[in-house]
Amino acid sequence: MKKISPEFIRAIPKTDLHVHLDGSLRIETLIELAGERNIEIPSHTEEGMRELVFKERYRNLGDYLKGFRYTTAVMQDTEAVERISYELAVDSFSEGVRYIEPRFAPQLHINRELEMTSLLKAVDRGLSRAAGEFNQSPGVKNGTEPPYSYGIIVCALRMFGKGFSRYYDELMNVMEFAPKKKIFRAASLEMARAAVRIRDAGLSSIVGFDLAGQEDGFPAHNHYEAYQHAHRNFLHKTVHAGEAYGAESIFEAITELHADRVGHGFYLFNTDKITDGDIRDRDKYIFDLAEYIADKRITIEICLTSNLQTNATLKTLSDHPLKKMLEAKISTTFCTDNRLVSRTSISREIELALNEVGLDLKQLKQCIFNGFKRSFMPHTYLEKRDYVRKVINSYEKLETEYGIA
């Protein structure tokens, strides 16, 4: 295989469809905002925060998630949220990402001074400002390069408890005697209704709905009503599934929640993760599920570094199921998950896919194009087709320039 240079990887148009806003701050911004807002953090130096919080490797998923208590703490006002959104877009666009879909759970940021509409508008302002600046480049202005663009994905959460956020504390107080499952269901439905309502009121950059949080013990079907509302109102749908649980979780995401894409899907091929006793032939169940995903072009949002950091069973990326997904002709695309927490970028994820997973040039190209084709881009179908054509033309021109073709 021809050698792929880092310069080529940075130059080609790319997407990041699975990137958490509250996991992708600049570390210096986190430290600065914490100081300005009198928020306690373990260290006020970049070196200290990387040593104590944002590490190269984590013991487990719980260890990985600890950093979010600090990132969400500084994201409780519109000024901070707009700045963080802008900087995420700038950092992404600077490495050749042309389209991003930042996602976050508004419930973690809503407070008595910040309601959901203002919060989402702040995110949009930050992303829009960055896109506007980058779209002044000569290639974009003369139409030879695809422009920079974005969409926003609103997340609901599978579960939560007292002290999780002001929003959830008040909800649990109101529904004090209700079963927790009912409380979780009500919260996700409210998020779906709010996302649709705010989108329809003019914030067209809201393009999708997501479900995140602990899979084991908190099944997707608990959030059926929320996804039905999103589905009926033409809001695209993605679901975290198969990250820490098995194929059954992915099956539920697709069949119960109408998922257009699946976040992670790491345990898709793992028969040991199947727990349903009624599934007698586990190999056939997984084969049929993979075939269905491939046939319906349900895209898996691949997060290599994040999976390596949070799954103890994955010792090396050469064992990552991405290769098997590609062999099954499943649509996949490269994502960062959390640029800060995983200390990564899309360019780095692609380098890992090439050098450690072992993707070839054809597979790389297809994964890149999948990201654009299966995005939730807030444009008409014909506009999106034109955009993808520009991406393909730009990519193939760069192949020639770098001697890849």
Residue 349's nearest CA partner among 1, 61, 58, 6 is 6
CA gap 131, 125 in Å, rounded: 10
Alpha helix positions (H), 331-380: 346-352, 361-373
In a domain, 370, yes or no: yes
- Taken in order 325, 330, 335, 337, is the CA torsion positive or negative? negative
Q: Give the long-range contacts of residues 278-287, CB within 8 A, separation 24 or more.
A: 279/248, 285/247, 286/247
Location of structure tokens 């490797």? 57
Is 184 within the bounds of a domain?
yes
Locate all alpha helices (DSSP H) within 53-179, ordered by sequence: 61-65, 68-73, 78-94, 116-134, 138-141, 166-174
Query: What CATH number is associated with residue 167?
Result: 3.20.20.140
Instruction: Reply yes or no on whether the pLDDT at 83 is more than 70.
Output: yes
Burial profile 11-22: b = 16 or more Cβ within 10 angstroms, e = fewer: bbbbbbbbbbbb
> C-alpha angle 227/288/242, rounded to 5°?
50
- Residue, of 167 and 150, whose pLDDT is higher: 150
Q: Give the CA distances from residue 142 to residues 63, 137, 311, in Å, rounded to whole numbers and listed in that order.
A: 47, 9, 46
Closest CA to 127 of 81, 59, 179: 81
pLDDT of residue 30: 98
**Tokens found for residue 51:** 């040593």
Cβ atoms of 133 and 184 within 8 Å: the answer is: no
Q: Which residue has the higher pLDDT, 21 or 216?
A: 21
Give the C-alpha separation, 289 to 247, whole Å.
8
Helix axes 116-134, 180-200, angle to 10 degrees: 50
The residue annotated as part of the active site, out of 82, 145, 243, 248, is 243
In angstroms, rounded to a whole number, what is the distance separating the alpha carbons of residues 165 and 141?
A: 44
Confidence (pLDDT) at 311: 86
Structural domain includes residue 374:
yes
101 in a structural domain:
yes
Residue 1 falls within a domain, yes or no? no
- Residue 208 and residue 376 in contact, taking contact as beta carbons nearer than 8 Å: yes
The answer to whether position 405 is within a domain reads: no
Sorting pLDDT into bands at 50, 70 and 90, what band is 168?
Answer: low
What is the distance, to the nearest Å, from the Cα of residue 176 to the centroid of all Cα atoms in its chain?
32
For residues 304 and 357, what is the distance between their CA atoms, to the nearest angstrom? Answer: 9
Q: What pLDDT, on a 0 to 100 scale, did the predictor assign at position 128?
A: 98
Query: What per-residue confidence (pLDDT) applies to 270?
Result: 95
Range of the domain at 226: 6-399
Query: Distance between CA atoms of 396 and 3, rounded to whole angstroms?
Result: 16
**Does residue 404 lie in a domain region?**
no
d(CA 27, CA 30): 5
Q: pLDDT, tens digit, for every residue of 178-190?
A: 566 788 888 899 9
pLDDT digits (tens, 9 = 90+) for 255-297: 999 999 999 999 999 999 998 889 999 999 999 999 999 999 9
Residue 149, SS3? strand
Length of the chain: 405
Task: Let me know if residue 210 belongs to a domain.
Answer: yes
Tally the domains of the chain.
1
Taking Cα atoms as reference points, which of 278, 253, 271, 275 lies closest to residue 263? 253
Residues 196-225: tens digit of each pLDDT: 999 999 999 999 999 998 777 788 889 999
The pTM of the whole model exceeds 0.75: yes
Q: Is the pLDDT of residue 8 over 80?
A: yes
Q: Which amino acid is at 233?
A: N
351 is catalytic: no
Name every residue whose Cβ is closer than 8 Å to that of residue 118 and which is 6 or more positions away in sequence.
78
Query: Average pLDDT in the 16-43 region?
Result: 97
